[in-house]
């Protein structure tokens, strides 16, 4: 398979960009559903079916870059994680705090309880960066011993946590949020997504070989995995259960194969660009949604929910793309996303 290095990474950019855009769709849909009635019924259903794909694939793709990061030595490894993961985590936590404070002062809306243990515990969507930093620290030590061992340790840890919590303390797995939805606890997220990250780290030790193996995989096996995923989606799965984990893992193969197709890559250059700028889109989208949905709900309180959803997603996505372009040109904007004054493309979890 003769490809340039850039071409080999296009499928990673495409899958990553697709996952990040789907995260924006999910949060836009949720922002509208709690304020308006009449939203398309297929939108929440689609978000539910895509749940085993969105965040697991982002963790897996971040793990693929562990080996490259470790090759740079301890000092550059940890400095890189502080600059490119901890830094935007702190910056956008503070941005969220400022925005909610303004809403409280100007609109007398209550501050979310989750804002009070800021930085120590992650705010809302920033749990991803919180977990990612933990995984990189663990990987630094576990991969010194064995990459396979790291996968085994995290898998055993996840299984022990799941079965102990399920039988002894179900509240450790899922808890109701302010709107009554059952959502995973932070420890559940940490142990569950660690499996995807460490698996990506192991396979990323020979990334070219992994990609070549996917490209040569028998189409029958790919379609079999598609069938398994479809069957799994129709089952009443317990979120974050071992079967749920297997379905998420099985979905990675056909998705990666699809992203490797030349005609797919030619038609998805925007999504690939989003994948290369994923840190910007990921950390910026939620504060933008918070501002835009507040404005729209005040300006268009009785409008069609689907129209408002389209406006919310469109404005949010456009603002994220503008910020990404600005971050490539201006150091002041780039500082929001990394403690790095040199312009370059940024991917969630891909930098040292």
Reported as a single tens digit per residue, the pLDDT across 279-332 is 999 999 999 999 999 999 989 888 899 999 999 999 999 999 999 999 999 999
2-16, 98-112, 138-152, range with greatest mean pLDDT? 138-152
Reported as a single tens digit per residue, the pLDDT across 47-101 is 888 888 889 999 999 999 999 999 999 999 999 999 999 999 999 999 988 888 8
Q: pLDDT band at 349, cuts 50/70/90? A: low
Least confident span in 29-38, 224-233, 268-277:
224-233
Least confident span in 61-75, 126-140, 222-236, 280-294:
222-236
CA distance 184 to 190: 10
Reported as a single tens digit per residue, the pLDDT across 27-45 is 999 999 988 888 888 888 8
The residues near 91 (Cβ < 8 Å, ≥ 6 apart) are: 283, 335, 336, 337
pLDDT value at position 253? 92
pLDDT value at position 4? 47
Helix residue spans in 82-146 (DSSP H): 87-107, 127-145
pTM of the model: 0.90
Segment 232-238 mean pLDDT: 76
- Tell the residue number behind the tokens 């030349």, with chain if given: 262
Contact (Cβ atoms closer than 8 angstroms) between residue 60 and residue 19: no
Q: Which run of H or of E encompasses 293? A: helix 278-299
Contacts 24+ apart (CB under 8 A), 227-232: 229/254, 232/52
Segment 262-275 mean pLDDT: 94
The closest of 138, 52, 143, 126 to 91, measured between CA atoms, is 126
Segment 165-185 mean pLDDT: 85
Q: Name which residue leads in pLDDT, 308 or 117.
A: 308
Reported as a single tens digit per residue, the pLDDT across 177-195 is 766 778 899 999 999 999 9
The partner residues of 182 in beta bridges, in order of sequence, read: 176
3-state secondary structure of 66: helix
Strand segments (E) across 36-99: none
pLDDT value at position 1? 38
Asked whether the predicted pLDDT for residue 233 surpasses 80, the reply is: no
- List the Cα angle 296/313/11 in 5-degree steps: 165
């Amino acid at each position: 398979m003769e490809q340039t290095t850039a071409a080999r990474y296009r499928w990673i950019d495409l899958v990553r960009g697709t996952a990040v855009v789907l995260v924006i769709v999910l949060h836009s849909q949720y922002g509208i559903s709690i304020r308006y009635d009449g939203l398309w019924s297929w939108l929440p259903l689609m978000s539910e079916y895509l749940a085993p794909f969105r965040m697991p694939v982002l963790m897996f793709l971040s793990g693929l870059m562990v080996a490259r990061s470790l090759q740079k030595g301890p000092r550059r490894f940890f400095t890189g994680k502080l600059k490119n993961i901890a830094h935007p985590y702190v910056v956008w936590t503070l941005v969220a705090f400022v925005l909610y404070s303004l809403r409280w002062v100007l609109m007398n809306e209550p501050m979310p309880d989750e804002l009070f243990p800021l930085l120590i515990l992650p705010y809302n969507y920033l749990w991803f960066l919180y977990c990612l930093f933990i995984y990189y620290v663990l990987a630094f030590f576990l991969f010194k011993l064995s990459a396979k061992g790291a996968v085994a340790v995290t898998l055993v840890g996840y299984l022990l946590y799941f079965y102990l919590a399920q039988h002894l303390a179900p509240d450790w797995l899922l808890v109701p949020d302010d709107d009554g939805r059952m959502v995973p606890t932070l420890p559940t997220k940490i142990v569950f997504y660690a499996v995807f990250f460490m698996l990506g780290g192991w396979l990323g030790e020979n990334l070219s070989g992994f990609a070549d193996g996917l490209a040569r995989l028998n189409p029958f096996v790919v379609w079999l995995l598609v069938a398994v995923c479809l069957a799994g989606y129709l089952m009443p799965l317990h979120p974050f259960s071992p079967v749920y984990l297997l379905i998420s893992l099985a979905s990675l193969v056909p998705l990666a194969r699809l992203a490797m197709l030349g005609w797919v890559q030619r038609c998805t250059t925007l999504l690939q660009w989003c994948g290369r700028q994923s840190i910007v889109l990921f950390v910026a989208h939620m504060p933008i949604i918070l501002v835009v949905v507040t404005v729209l709900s005040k300006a268009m309180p009785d409008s069609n929910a689907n129209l408002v959803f389209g406006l919310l997603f469109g404005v949010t996505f456009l603002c994220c793309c503008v910020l990404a372009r600005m971050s490539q040109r201006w150091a002041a904007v780039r500082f929001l996303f990394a403690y790095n004054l040199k312009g370059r493309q940024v991917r969630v979890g891909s930098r040292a």
